[in-house]
Structure formats: structure tokens, C-alpha cells
């Protein structure tokens, strides 16, 4: 488990570096973080807030009501919502950051809405999501079984005491799935970076 956390932290640092390299944000850029968590269980969940220099320029959009995070990030503006329409006018932000959230928003229809909302409220964006065909499912550290139909994988997770990861909690995406969702959301100009671990693509970084 400790090794998995170290790999996760290394990969999040890699994605943060990609964000900085591609957008070169300054103290003047406004940033929306979609998927902020009130509790930081491993020290890596809110990686942007922990590492970004201009915290006062970030608006964190979250399903969680802020409690612990208020003391941890006093400069941060935290906005809660119901997981559907973002509560901001069009083009409110210079950049949107959304790390490993897309796979958690629900059905394909909800994933498309999520992408549309990011496109609507931000002038540019970086979205990341795990690769469905990475040999180990990164949320539950389960090897290979996520290649099977979701019902089978969910049944296994329930059997081993990980029911929290079943249902709409997780809908993993392949590269083809991701390209289809982006097209349905009206996002046709983008690039996808494939972050690799060993010989395999661990996750995708979408930049537009």
C-alpha cells in the first residue's frame, strides 16, 4: 500500500508539472479546481492547492461542504454544488484543473455534461483520468479484473469489502471512450498526453 501511495504521489507531481509547463500560469490567472476534497486522506488528493504558488487565485469546486479545508487553505475560495451544472457564468476562469474526477461523475451522459461545463466556464483546461486498460485498477489496486464487464468487477469489489468503489463511483475510460466523450461534448481541438508507467499507459491528460 505504501508503494502505491508513493507511485500516486509521483504521478500527481508529473501531472502538476505538465499543468505548469503547458499553461505557465501567473499570479494573474484565475483557476478553477473541479473535484476538490474537504479531507486529504493521503496528503496527495488536493495536489494543486498543496503545491501552487498563488492559492488566492484558485476557486475550488466541491461536492463536500468545507470543514477541515477551511483551516488548511484559508486563502482558498471553496464553492459547493450538486455535481451537475457549475454555478459560474460562461468563461469565468482562465484555466480549469480537474485531476482524476471524470471517471467518478456517473454515467456517460453525466460525463459529457461534466466536460461541457468545463468548456463553458473555462478558457482552457487540463483534465486527467486513469486508463481503463492499465493492468492495475488504481483506486482499488485490483489487477486485471476491471477488464471484465462492470457488473462482474462490481460483484468482486462487493465480495472483498470494497463496495464503496462500485456503481457510479467509478466508470473507467479507454482512449477511444475518452475521444468519443470529448466529441459529444463539442471539444474537438485538444491534445492527449499518455502518462506511462513501465510499458503501460497509466492515465490520460487532456489539454484544450
pLDDT digits over 77-104, tens only? 999 999 999 999 999 999 999 999 999 9
Give the pLDDT band (50/70/90) at residue 5: confident
Return the pLDDT at 6: 85
Q: Which of 96, 77, 84, 83 shows the shortest CA–CA distance to 31?
A: 96
**Mean pLDDT of the chain, nearest integer:** 94
Q: Which of 81, 76, 75, 47 shows the shortest CA–CA distance to 60?
A: 76
- DSSP class of residue 138 equals T
Can you say how many angstroms the Cα of residue 122 is from the centroid of all Cα atoms in its chain? 16
User: Residue 192 phi/psi, 5° resolution?
Assistant: -120, 125
Q: Which of 60, 135, 70 shows the shortest CA–CA distance to 98?
A: 60
Return the pLDDT at 3: 76
Determine contact, residues 80/65, Cβ cutoff 8 Å: yes
Return the pLDDT at 1: 63
Amino acid at each position: 500500500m505504501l508503494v502505491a501511495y508513493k507511485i500516486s504521489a509521483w504521478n500527481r507531481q508529473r501531472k502538476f508539472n505538465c499543468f505548469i509547463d503547458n499553461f505557465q500560469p501567473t499570479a494573474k490567472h484565475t483557476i478553477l479546481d473541479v473535484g476538490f476534497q474537504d479531507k486529504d486522506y493521503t496528503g496527495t488528493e488536493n495536489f494543486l492547492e498543496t503545491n501552487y504558488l498563488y492559492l488566492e487565485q484558485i476557486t475550488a469546486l466541491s461536492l463536500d461542504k468545507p470543514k477541515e479545508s477551511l483551516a488548511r487553505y484559508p486563502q482558498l475560495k471553496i464553492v459547493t454544488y450538486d455535481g451537475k451544472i457549475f454555478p459560474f457564468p460562461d468563461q469565468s476562469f482562465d484555466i480549469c484543473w480537474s485531476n482524476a474526477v471524470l471517471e467518478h461523475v456517473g454515467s456517460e451522459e453525466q460525463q459529457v455534461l461534466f466536460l461541457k461545463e468545463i468548456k463553458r466556464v473555462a478558457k482552457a483546461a487540463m483534465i486527467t483520468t486513469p486508463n481503463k486498460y492499465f493492468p492495475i485498477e488504481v483506486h482499488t489496486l485490483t489487477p486485471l479484473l476491471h477488464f471484465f464487464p462492470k457488473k462482474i468487477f462490481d460483484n468482486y469489489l462487493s465480495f472483498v469489502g470494497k463496495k464503496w468503489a462500485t456503481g457510479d463511483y467509478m466508470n473507467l475510460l479507454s482512449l477511444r471512450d475518452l475521444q468519443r466523450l470529448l466529441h459529444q461534448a463539442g471539444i474537438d481541438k485538444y491534445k492527449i498526453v499518455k502518462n506511462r508507467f513501465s510499458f503501460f499507459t497509466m492515465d490520460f491528460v487532456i489539454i484544450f
